[in-house]
Amino acid sequence: MGLILLSFLVFPAFIANILIVRSRFRGVAGLRITEGISLSFAAYALCQSLALAFISAAAMPHLSHNLIKVSAFFFALSYLLVFVFVLDFPVALPRWIRVIGGLLATAAAALALWRIVFSTDYILATVRAGSDIVRVDGSAYGLINNLETGLAALSAAILLARSFTFASRIQRQRALVGFAGIVLGAGFIWILPQLVVSRSVVRSVFALTPVAALVLATVVTYSFYLSRLFDWRSIGRRLFYFGLLTLVVGLPTGLAIYVLTLLRIVSETVPLVGTFVVFFISLFLARAFSARFLERAGSFGEYREELESGLAHIDLSEGRDLVLGKLYGLLSNALDFSDFTVLIEDDQGSLRSVFSPTGGKANIEKGSDLAIALDRSDATVLLKSEALAHPAYADVRAEFMGLFENLNAEAFILAREGRHIIGAFILGARRTGADFTDYDYDTFKSIYGKLFVFAYYLKNVARESLLYTVDREIALSDQIIRFALEKVDPFEHPKADAAWALRYMRTLGGDFIDFVRLSPDRWFFVMGDVSGKGLSASMNMLILKSMIRTFLRVEKDFVGLVSRINTFIKDNLPRGNFFAGIFGYFDLSKDAFYYINCGIPALLLYSPSFESFIEVQGEGKILGFVRDIKPYLKPRKLIMPTGCVLVAATDGITDSENLRGERFGKERLRRSIQERLGEPANAIVDGTLEDLLSFSDRKQDDDLTLFVIKFPNRSAK
């Protein structure tokens, strides 16, 4: 009965697999056939599970018999769909072959429906005999099973043979993964009946066949959207060391426990105590072995951390040529590629080549088919293998492959400001002839933030008119921050008076505030503090601000938006970085403020009814620590009546101390603002910051950010 329940659980697993793939590749050509395989296997699993359950319960024998036959038909249909799939994967065969194959599969499906479901050729009866389920086979039972097994073997053989015909490594890998899925799934399904002594007795072990079918369908679907090469050397090293771990620790542990069980004749206590002792000793040995060999094996040949560190230490104030030279040196040393080209957006919106030590030149004109395709892709990292194999790029594959071929390129890293591309880093083929792997892709994603800073620097700072030059007399980093801070949509509305100020402890910092105007009455608002100090914090602030605006364009759910930002911080900013702040929407048509607190220390609302400030922090978690932040995000709503004042401040204000070690705190913040309620918002901000600096004897230990918005009486306005 337990195995029958397991087969029931396979059905929702099939459906989940279909929904996940459909959400990722909606509208992609070729998806229907993989969905058809999963749906057909899902129907097979459901019908067989119901039939076995009814027979075990001795209920509805006629229905259970028909369900067995229907499940057998769906099983045969699944194999036919797998055969059709291999004719079109990973690259479609000539049309006439696919048409003939499709017609033959259709005819075979109709024949299977007739012989299996609407005749007694397959199964005559299925009955319960004592504790067993006995199947009475029809005259064609063995023939149909052999044909199904032969069809699966033929499909696997076609994929294996085709894998040797592809020059592209990614297409070979996709074909071999599909081949492995068919062999594993169909092979287990074939061998299972051989383990049963009586072929006519349906043991509950047959409930495992849907699990094997799930493996087959899942691996085949995975091969369909697989577009990056495995790092086989790393996988091989890890498998070798895990095998060695089993040999060195696992086998002696098993032998020791076996010997202890033999001592049970002498004493029951010795095996019990000895097993615990052996277990803890083996655990200690396994951890020691893992720390010495497995972690070293996993990091062997990896370059990500060293590359990230090198990029972080490039001084942008040295000038464009030196910066690009160092960037090229670090990337080429780590990845050993030949060609390298940097494209930056010009004043007309086209991408122009500004650096290429190997002499390569490339331009992507604004409005061209290629530029439009790149904009629509939403990708920040694009490998040649993805452009060649990923089903999502089927409509623009010719344009992408043409660009890769013209530039002798293997990888594109696209710096995006919102959806808009401001620069591209083009990496050529490796000198060894090897392709970029999945590990390289993850590395490109991890260094994307730093490369975005370089592109931002080249586009907005390191150029003068149409020429790319560097003025070494100007404080470069201050320019970047000033440029980023100025890109804030003005908050102007007859109902509200808003002002804010940022004062950094040094020239640079991680605090920022941003407004995005969504409509005449609605603004998106974010304010907070990216961890760190100086240049590093300011660069991370710049990256985060850009990505928030990007996500705001595509994510309409408030909680979903903050969750995506948390994931970006976790995956792309340097390890250990976090963001403490607040996200909100001002809807002045409803006099409402919707917000999610993510660690802002002071959020105060002055209520004219009570003539005092109240804390409205709400619940929330700092971003960047937890992988799944959604359960911790609590959206709240504030009604903003006439005469109220909303204040938000970062920890630099509340935690500022004077020479006696006293904190400025929320109470002093309240008093300072309340004394100025009759003044405009900008006067409140300036006066409060002056009170703070006077309190701390002009000493500033952290970045200061203060935001004030007033909703004055209409007459006062």
Residues 117-134: tens digit of each pLDDT = 888 888 887 766 665 666
> In this model, does residue 618 exceed pLDDT 70?
no
Residues 359-408: tens digit of each pLDDT = 666 778 888 877 887 877 778 888 888 888 887 777 778 878 887 887 77
In this structure, what token pair is assigned to residue 293?
Answer: 């060999």
> In this model, does residue 485 exceed pLDDT 80?
no
Q: Judge contact between 286 and 245, C-beta under 8 A.
A: yes
Q: Judge contact between 444 and 413, C-beta under 8 A.
A: yes
What integer pLDDT is reported at residue 76 of this predicted model?
Answer: 94
pTM of the model: 0.61
Q: How far apart are CA 8 and CA 655, in angstroms?
A: 58
The residue ranking higher by pLDDT, 172 or 58, is 172
> In this model, does residue 214 exceed pLDDT 80?
yes
- Residue 160's pLDDT band (cuts 50, 70, 90): very high
In this structure, what token pair is assigned to residue 135?
Answer: 């199947």
Residues 522-537: tens digit of each pLDDT = 999 999 888 766 666 7
Residues 657-704: tens digit of each pLDDT = 888 888 898 899 999 999 998 899 999 999 999 999 888 888 887 888
First to last CA, the chain: 75
Burial track 526-547 (b if 16+ CB lie within 10 A, e otherwise) = bbbbbbbeebbbbbbbbbbbbb
Segment 157-179 shows an average pLDDT of: 90
Q: How far apart are CA 258 and CA 274, in angstroms?
A: 11
Q: Computed from CA positions of residues 555, 561, 565, 570, in that sequence, does the dihedral angle turn out positive or negative?
A: negative
For the ranges 12-26, 119-133, 151-165, 313-327, the one whose mean pLDDT is highest: 151-165
Q: How far apart are CA 683 and CA 394, in angstroms?
A: 57
Q: Computed from CA positions of residues 442, 444, 450, 453, in that sequence, does the dihedral angle turn out positive or negative?
A: negative
Out of 51-65, 246-260, 596-610, 693-707, pick the least confident: 51-65
Q: Judge contact between 470 and 319, C-beta under 8 A.
A: yes
Q: What are phi and psi of 90, to 5 degrees?
A: -80, -15
Q: Computed from CA positions of residues 439, 440, 441, 443, in that sequence, does the dihedral angle turn out positive or negative?
A: positive
Q: How far apart are CA 489 and CA 514, in angstroms?
A: 8
Residues 564-589: tens digit of each pLDDT = 898 888 877 777 778 888 999 999 98
Mean pLDDT score across all residues of the chain: 81
- Looking at the chain, the number of H-run helices and the number of E-run strands are 23, 18
For the ranges 199-213, 244-258, 514-528, the one whose mean pLDDT is highest: 514-528
Q: Judge contact between 512 and 485, C-beta under 8 A.
A: yes
What integer pLDDT is reported at residue 479 of this predicted model?
Answer: 57
C-alpha radius of gyration, the chain, whole number: 33
DSSP 305: H
Q: How far apart are CA 83 and CA 156, in angstroms?
A: 9
For the chain, what's the residue count?
717
> In this model, does residue 560 exceed pLDDT 70?
yes
Q: How far apart are CA 292 and CA 643, in angstroms?
A: 66
Counting Cβ atoms within 10 Å, is residue 374 exposed (0-12), middle (13-18) or buried (19+)? buried
Residues 453-467: tens digit of each pLDDT = 888 878 776 554 333
Residues 225-277: tens digit of each pLDDT = 888 888 777 677 777 777 777 887 888 888 888 787 777 666 677 777 778 88
The answer for residues whose C-beta is within 8 angstroms of residue 622's C-beta and 6 or more apart is 578, 579, 580, 598, 599
Residues 643-655: tens digit of each pLDDT = 899 999 988 898 8
Q: What does the angle CA 609 – CA 612 – CA 618 come to, to the nearest 5 degrees?
A: 95
> In this model, does residue 490 exceed pLDDT 70?
yes
- Residue 181's pLDDT band (cuts 50, 70, 90): very high
Segment 629-638 shows an average pLDDT of: 87
Q: How far apart are CA 375 and CA 389, in angstroms?
A: 19
Q: How far apart are CA 238 and CA 274, in angstroms?
A: 31
